[in-house]
């Protein structure tokens, strides 16, 4: 309604300051932490930050398309976890005692990656999309159901046992850097490529434009001849493929997996997206913004570790940041008189 | 104490891109019926929404019962004794009439500090009220089982039950039959004899002249004047409303209808109380009007043709070919476009740019390398539309929500022109658009028809249909009651057909 947008200029300025204040605060706090503990600015720490961010960013990108279309995917973290477990079982050393498939040669890691991505898209992603678009189950509930289903599958698949003994090729790749430049971890290269693809998809293809249109006004999108059902399904399939990719990356980075891998990561992905300007009311969000959002969140976590804050407290702070970020986002859409 | 129960002075209200109210004043005496008149988009509803606390006024004062008041929200307004019956009903369909009437102010009974809803009292009071007003419903009936006009009466009963000092009726008769209108007028007389002031918004001259004490006329958000109703003539009111000679309201006709090309046969809705046995045919280059009262199912029929609503039977033909339409995507592929009635809810993408709003339906037509959008080509199309339809905007990148209603409508028309449809269905194309922009929209419609497009215009404004259409189909309660042309295209004939099945 147009009456919501009056006083727009004044309101946006305040909003602009509030959202940027977050970034300014993060930079200021990083400097503060750096002074307290100079190791904060060490190569190792920055590389660790980049590697962490790389995985989180892929998850956030996956969920972003779903969020922009006013849906949600709470199964994201569990999907990452299951994908990590599947990748790990296919990439175990022959000489490892607890090998899940003792007689199977480890596959080529990139073949595993592609197969798992496709597999997730056409199973979990497709089902999520169908449940939300065809059965009209609210995305929140539908994907929450999927979350526990996927966790159950992961428990059965792994026998609730951790999976180790990964082939060095796989783990070394995740630990390594592009051309041995420490500031460019291999994981970051993958993420950069995914970002580029997603940026292209969102800005230069009909899919992207239609996605923003559905998020902006689903009813008008339908009248405009956009097949919202198909678009919703595709968005969940893309998301699932990216969650699988994140699982592949995370498994390698961690050097071993378990059914609890990536538990709760969807919340961080949603938070990253929201802080980065993806509205929970749909229709807005940019790849660059999502990167900022995810980075802010990761930096915050590492800072707390460096300040020696108890893990229990870091959870509380993270929770507060998520709620505050979404509260600020919602403020933009509350009816103004 | 002044002689007025309500004085609104110099009220101003702006929306992005449009000044909706520009120093408007209104004075209401207790026991009087004060009519507020003006074309659609003149700002009548906006003024009332400012009074009722739905909108916040930018400037001006409201003096109620001799005191300056600042009404913050509808609840506040109700507490102060101001009730409003909205043009667009907001019924809670799955709840009973009584719960709708007492919504938010349920009578309670107490067990000590614990208060519970007193259902017995609520239903008894409601039944007494309904009986008293001569409405033949049960308080326990679910609202959803009533027809649109019956819901309107319940809504009026709700205002009465609030013991309001001022009741605002925003186009209360738009869906009522003559009998129901008479009932409403009885209710109004009773209210005013008790000292209640009534603000009455309507387009119907005969009603206004019949029940009003005073008439205030608005045009384009401006206050034109207030006159005692006695001695006013229809011509005088229209001249004041329009602000210029009537003959300038519609552009001259330039289209000449050709052969019949578009046929709709035997459309039946999946719903029981919607359209039935609807068949009609339209010629190439014809402007075909669809008239009827609110609830006549015109929108529903058009949306069914477009694939948005379910049907049990029905076929669409273009140039003798059967069109298979299951969803809007199919309709568009077959050269049919629909401009929806509710522009804000189902037309525009508020947060998106004008460019995106124009291109949204034709994205797949602007590809290069098969997957990539050709932004240059899109910009050309958008710029051409902006020039051709003279869309007033600072830039194509502007968010569409910042444009005025008329310009938003032109953007939506551009969206469909980019698809070059054969048949363009326009549902209330000038609703909420100011007079000048209306004329432009009519001109565009005329030009499109002269270029051989088949245009179907659904409208509740009879003069508009008579002014621009070649023929007008009239619907009543889901059925087509007739098609008028030439001499028969007059308000009386259309009204008669619109109320064919109403008692």
Residues B214 and B256 in one domain: no
Cα distance from A140 to chain B (closest Cα, Å)? 23
Residues B78 and B115 in one domain: yes
pLDDT of residue A5: 42
Kindly state whether residue B253 falls inside one of the protein's structural domains.
yes
Does the distance separating the beta carbons of A6 and B14 come in below 8 Å? yes
Residue A7 has pLDDT above 50, yes or no: no
Kindly state whether residue B379 falls inside one of the protein's structural domains.
no
Q: B356-406, pLDDT tens digit by residue?
A: 999 999 999 999 888 899 999 999 999 999 998 888 888 899 889 888 788
Q: What percent of chain A clears pLDDT 70, i.e. is strictly above it?
A: 91
3-state secondary structure B108-136: EEEECCEEEECHHHHHHHHHHHHHHCCCC
Please give the residue of chain B at the shortest CA–CA distance from A216.
Answer: B349
Residue A111 has pLDDT above 70, yes or no: yes
Residues B118 and B234 in one domain: yes
Does the distance separating the beta carbons of B349 and A206 come in below 8 Å? no
pLDDT of residue A8: 45
Residues B271 and B221 in one domain: no
3-state secondary structure B236-298: HHHHHHHCCCHHHCCCCCCCCCCCEEEEEEEEEECCCCCCCCEEEEEECCCEEEEECCCCCCH
Cα distance from A23 to chain B (closest Cα, Å)? 24
Cα distance from B352 to chain A (closest Cα, Å)? 7
Q: Chain B residues with CB inside 8 Å of A1's CB?
A: 344
Binned at pLDDT 50, 70 and 90, residue B501 comes out as confident
Of B356, B371, B402, the CB nearest to A209: B356
pLDDT of residue B197: 92
Domain end (from B226, B244, B262): B244
Q: A246-282, pLDDT tens digit by residue?
A: 999 999 999 999 999 999 899 889 988 988 888 877 7
CA distances in angstroms from B42 to B21, B102, B353, listed in the order given: 8, 32, 27
Average pLDDT over chain B, rounded to whole? 88
Kindly state whether residue B274 falls inside one of the protein's structural domains.
yes
Please give the residue of chain B at the shortest CA–CA distance from A8.
Answer: B16
Of A8, A206, A283, the CB nearest to B16: A8
Q: Chain B residues with CB inside 8 Å of A3's CB?
A: 15, 55
Please give the full DSSP string across B466-485, using - where no structure is assigned.
Answer: HHH-SEEEEEETTEEEEEEE
Q: A44-83, pLDDT tens digit by residue?
A: 888 889 999 999 999 999 999 999 999 999 999 999 999 9
A6 touches chain B (CB under 8 A): yes
- The reply to whether the predicted model has a pTM over 0.90 is no
Arithmetic mean of pLDDT, B415-420: 92
Please give the residue of chain A at the shortest CA–CA distance from B331.
Answer: A225
- In this structure, what CATH number is given to the domain that contains residue B66? 3.40.50.300
Q: Chain B residues with CB inside 8 Å of A337's CB?
A: 54-56, 73
Please give the residue of chain B at the shortest CA–CA distance from A281.
Answer: B351
Residue B17 has pLDDT above 90, yes or no: no
Domain total for chain B? 2
pLDDT of residue B181: 85
Arithmetic mean of pLDDT, A293-312: 88
Structure tokens that stand for A109 in this block: 């890691």
Residue A2 has pLDDT above 80, yes or no: no
Q: Chain A residues with CB inside 8 Å of B373's CB?
A: 204-206, 209
Residue B1 has pLDDT above 90, yes or no: no
Cα distance from A99 to chain B (closest Cα, Å)? 44
Please give the residue of chain B at the shortest CA–CA distance from A217.
Answer: B349
Q: A148-203, pLDDT tens digit by residue?
A: 999 999 999 999 899 999 999 999 999 888 887 778 899 999 999 999 999 999 99
pLDDT of residue A6: 43
Domain end (from B181, B213, B244): B244
Could you give the CA distance from residue A115 to residue A154 in angstroms, rounded to a whole number? 17
Of A6, A212, A225, the CB nearest to B361: A225
ipTM: 0.80
Arithmetic mean of pLDDT, B213-219: 91
Residue B178 has pLDDT above 80, yes or no: no
Residues B267 and B120 in one domain: no
CB pairs under 8 A between A and B: 93
List of long-range contacts for B331-334, beta carbons under 8 Å, 24+ apart: B331/A225, B331/B305, B331/B306, B331/B307, B332/A225, B332/B361, B332/B419, B332/B421, B333/A225
Interface test with B, best of A199, A225, A229 (most B CBs within 10 A): A225
Please give the residue of chain A at the shortest CA–CA distance from B401.
Answer: A2
Q: Chain A residues with CB inside 8 Å of B356's CB?
A: 209, 212-213
A84 touches chain B (CB under 8 A): no
Residue A238 has pLDDT above 60, yes or no: yes
Q: Chain B residues with CB inside 8 Å of A213's CB?
A: 349, 352, 356, 360
Does the distance separating the beta carbons of A227 and B327 come in below 8 Å? yes
Structure tokens that stand for B23 in this block: 């120093």
Cα distance from B467 to chain A (closest Cα, Å)? 28
pLDDT of residue B101: 87
Q: Chain A residues with CB inside 8 Å of B15's CB?
A: 2-3, 5-6
Q: Chain A residues with CB inside 8 Å of B328's CB?
A: 222-225
Structure tokens that stand for B297 in this block: 């199912």
- Find the range with the poorest average confidence among A81-90, A291-300, B79-88, B416-425: B79-88
Residue B172 has pLDDT above 90, yes or no: no
Arithmetic mean of pLDDT, A115-133: 97
Interface test with A, best of B335, B363, B400 (most A CBs within 10 A): B363
Strand B372-373 to B367-368 pairing: antiparallel
Residues B196 and B112 in one domain: yes
pLDDT of residue A1: 36
Looking at per-residue pLDDT, the higher value among A177 and B328 belongs to B328
Residues B56 and B114 in one domain: yes
Could you give the CA distance from residue B95 to residue B197 in angstroms, rounded to a whole number? 30
Domain end (from B192, B218, B244): B244
Strand (E) positions, B156-234? 166-170, 197-201, 214-219, 222-228
Structure tokens that stand for B466 in this block: 């008579």
Please give the residue of chain A at the shortest CA–CA distance from B336.
Answer: A225
Average pLDDT over chain A, rounded to whole? 88
| Contact present, B353 and A203 (Cβ < 8 Å) | no
Residues B86 and B210 in one domain: yes
Residues B105 and B189 in one domain: yes
Kindly state whether residue B257 falls inside one of the protein's structural domains.
yes
Does the distance separating the beta carbons of B329 and A225 come in below 8 Å? yes
Kindly state whether residue B356 falls inside one of the protein's structural domains.
no
Kindly state whether residue B463 falls inside one of the protein's structural domains.
yes
Q: Chain A residues with CB inside 8 Å of B363's CB?
A: 206, 209-210
Residues B231 and B257 in one domain: no
- Sketch out chain A's domains with CATH numbers: 38-331 (1.10.3470)
Could you give the CA distance from residue A83 to residue A265 in angstroms, rounded to a whole number? 13
Residue A39 has pLDDT above 70, yes or no: yes
Kindly state whether residue B380 falls inside one of the protein's structural domains.
no
Residues B219 and B262 in one domain: no
Kindly state whether residue B376 falls inside one of the protein's structural domains.
no
Residue range(s) defining the domain that contains residue B453 = 249-335+421-503
Of B17, B347, B375, the CB nearest to A220: B347
Residues B446 and B302 in one domain: yes
Binned at pLDDT 50, 70 and 90, residue A16 comes out as low
Q: Chain B residues with CB inside 8 Å of A205's CB?
A: 371-373
Does the distance separating the beta carbons of A206 and B364 come in below 8 Å? yes
pLDDT of residue A328: 73
């Amino acid at each position: 309604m147009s009456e919501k947008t009056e006083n727009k200029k004044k309101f946006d300025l305040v909003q602009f300051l509030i959202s940027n204040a977050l970034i300014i605060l993060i930079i200021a706090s990083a400097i503060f932490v750096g002074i307290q503990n100079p190791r904060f600015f060490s190569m190792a720490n920055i590389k660790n930050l980049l590697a962490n961010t790389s995985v989180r960013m892929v998850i956030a990108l996956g969920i972003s398309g779903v969020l922009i279309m006013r849906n949600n995917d709470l199964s994201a973290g569990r999907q990452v976890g299951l994908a990590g477990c599947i990748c790990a079982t296919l990439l175990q050393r022959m000489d490892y005692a607890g090998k899940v498939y003792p007689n199977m040669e480890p596959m080529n890691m990139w073949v595993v990656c592609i197969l798992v991505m496709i597999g997730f898209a056409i199973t979990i992603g497709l089902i999520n999309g169908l449940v939300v678009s065809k059965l009209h189950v609210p995305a929140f509930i539908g994907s929450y159901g999927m979350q526990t289903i996927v966790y159950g599958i992961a428990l059965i698949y792994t026998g609730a046992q951790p999976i180790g003994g990964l082939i060095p090729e796989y783990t070394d790749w995740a630990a390594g850097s592009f051309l041995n430049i420490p500031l460019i971890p291999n994981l970051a290269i993958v993420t950069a490529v995914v970002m580029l693809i997603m940026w292209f998809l969102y800005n230069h293809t009909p899919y992207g434009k239609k996605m923003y249109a559905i998020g902006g006004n689903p009813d008008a999108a339908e009248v405009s001849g956009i097949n919202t059902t198909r678009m919703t399904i595709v968005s969940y399939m893309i998301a699932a493929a990216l969650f699988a990719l994140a699982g592949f990356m995370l498994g390698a980075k961690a050097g071993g997996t378990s059914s609890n891998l990536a538990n709760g990561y969807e919340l961080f992905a949603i938070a990253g997206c929201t802080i980065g300007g993806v509205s929970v009311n749909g229709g807005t969000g940019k790849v660059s913004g999502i990167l900022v959002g995810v980075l802010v969140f990761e930096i915050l976590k590492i800072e707390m570790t460096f300040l020696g804050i108890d893990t229990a407290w870091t959870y509380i702070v993270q929770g507060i940041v998520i709620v505050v970020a979404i509260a600020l986002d919602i403020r933009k859409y509350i009816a103004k008189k | 104490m002044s002689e007025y129960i309500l004085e609104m002075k110099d009220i101003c209200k702006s929306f992005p891109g449009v000044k909706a109210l520009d120093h408007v004043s209104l004075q209401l005496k207790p026991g009087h019926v004060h009519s507020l008149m003006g074309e659609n988009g003149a700002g009548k509803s906006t003024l009332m929404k400012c009074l009722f606390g739905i909108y916040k006024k930018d400037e001006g004062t409201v003096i109620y019962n001799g005191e300056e008041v600042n009404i913050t929200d509808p609840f506040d307004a109700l507490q102060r004794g101001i009730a409003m019956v909205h043009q667009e009903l907001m019924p809670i369909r799955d709840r009973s009439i009584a719960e709708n009437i007492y919504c938010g102010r349920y009578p309670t009974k107490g067990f000590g500090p614990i208060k519970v809803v007193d259902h017995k009292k609520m239903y008894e009071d409601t039944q007494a009220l309904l009986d008293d007003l001569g409405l033949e419903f049960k308080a326990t009936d679910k609202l959803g089982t009533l027809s649109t006009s019956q819901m309107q009466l319940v809504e009026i009963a709700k205002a009465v039950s609030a013991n309001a000092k001022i009741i605002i009726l925003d186009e209360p008769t738009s869906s009522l039959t003559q009998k129901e209108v008479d009932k409403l007028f009885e209710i109004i007389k009773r209210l005013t004899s008790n000292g209640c002031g009534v603000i009455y918004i309507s387009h119907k001259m005969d009603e206004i002249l019949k029940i009003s004490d005073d008439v205030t006329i608005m045009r384009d958000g401006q206050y034109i004047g207030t006159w005692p109703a006695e001695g006013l003539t229809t011509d005088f009111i229209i001249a004041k409303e329009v602000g210029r000679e009537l003959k300038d309201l519609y552009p001259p006709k330039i289209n000449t209808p050709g052969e019949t090309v578009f046929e709709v046969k035997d459309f039946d809705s999946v719903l029981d109380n919607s359209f039935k046995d609807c068949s009609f045919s339209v010629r190439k280059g014809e402007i075909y009007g669809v008239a009827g009262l609110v609830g006549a199912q015109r929108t529903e029929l058009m949306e069914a043709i477009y694939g948005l609503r379910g049907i049990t039977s029905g076929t669409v033909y273009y140039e003798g070919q059967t069109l298979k339409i299951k969803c809007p995507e199919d309709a568009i592929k077959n050269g049919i476009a629909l401009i929806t009635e509710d522009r804000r809810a189902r037309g525009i993408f508020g947060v998106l740019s004008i460019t995106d709003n124009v291109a949204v339906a034709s994205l797949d037509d602007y590809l290069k390398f098969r997957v990539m959008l050709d932004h240059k080509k899109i910009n050309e199309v958008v710029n051409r539309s902006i020039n051709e339809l003279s869309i007033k905007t600072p830039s194509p990148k502007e968010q569409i929500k910042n444009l005025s209603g008329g310009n938003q409508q032109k953007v939506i028309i551009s969206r469909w022109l980019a698809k070059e449809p054969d048949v363009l269905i326009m549902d209330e194309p000038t609703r909420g658009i100011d007079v000048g922009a209306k004329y432009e929209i009519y001109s565009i419609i005329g030009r499109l028809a002269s270029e051989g497009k088949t245009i179907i215009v659904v409208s509740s404004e009879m003069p508009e249909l008579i002014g621009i259409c070649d023929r007008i189909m009239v619907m009543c309660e889901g059925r087509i009651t007739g098609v008028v042309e030439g001499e028969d295209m007059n308000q009386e004939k259309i009204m008669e057909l619109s109320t064919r099945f109403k008692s």
